[in-house]
Amino acid sequence: MSLTKSERAIVMSMWDKVSTQADAIGTETLERLFSSYPQSKTYFPHFDLHQGSPQLRAHGAKVVAAVGEAVKNIDNLSCALTKLSELHAYILRVDPVNFKLLSHCLLVTLAARFPADFTAEAHAAWDKFMSIVSSILTEKYR
């Protein structure tokens, strides 16, 4: 699966807006993940997961920075995400299902924050992009 030229353009264009609110979007995405899918909290026993906590904000910023890195390397996602994939598979041992859950929470956050920009076409492009990212992040598990 790969993105079309049009889908790449949509993702990259919307990223320009997302990047200006990256930390807040990351925090909101994680808050949504942890409240909707409480089982995902098991990977963060050492974090204060209360809404807006410094650790939640810091990790949210990291997550969205990784998405930004993927957008920046949209034509070579596999290479750009290799280290992150290895970290999650071999060291953190995160259940691969969490990448799909996180992707879903990010899409909901983007839709809530950018209702005018998050058209059906943008939703489809971002969903496909995040599916590719999730797939790459889980390929080391195989």
pLDDT at 137: 80
Distant-in-sequence, close-in-space partners of 28: CB < 8 Å, separation ≥ 6: 60, 109, 112, 113
CATH 1.10.490.10 fits 5-141, yes or no: yes
pLDDT at 9: 96
Per-residue pLDDT reduced to its tens digit, 11-67: 999 999 999 999 999 999 999 999 999 999 888 888 888 888 999 999 999 889 989
pLDDT at 95: 67
Per-residue pLDDT reduced to its tens digit, 113-132: 999 999 999 999 999 999 99
pTM: 0.89
pLDDT at 136: 82
Q: Which two three-digit tokens encode residue 16?
A: 């320009």
Per-residue pLDDT reduced to its tens digit, 132-142: 988 888 877 66
pLDDT-derived band at 88 (thresholds 50, 70, 90) equals low
Rounded Cα distance between 7 and 101, Å, is 21
Q: Of 130, 123, 23, which Cα lies nearest the Cα of 81?
A: 130
Q: Which two three-digit tokens encode residue 50?
A: 């209360």
Q: Where do the domains of the chain lie?
A: 5-141
Q: Of 51, 59, 127, 58, which Cα lies nearest the Cα of 92?
A: 59
Query: Over 70: is that where the pLDDT of 89 sits?
Result: no
Q: Degrees (nearest 5) of the Cα angle 3, 37, 16? A: 35
Neighbours of 114 (CB within 10 A): 16
The DSSP code for 92 is S
Query: Over 90: is that where the pLDDT of 98 sits?
Result: no
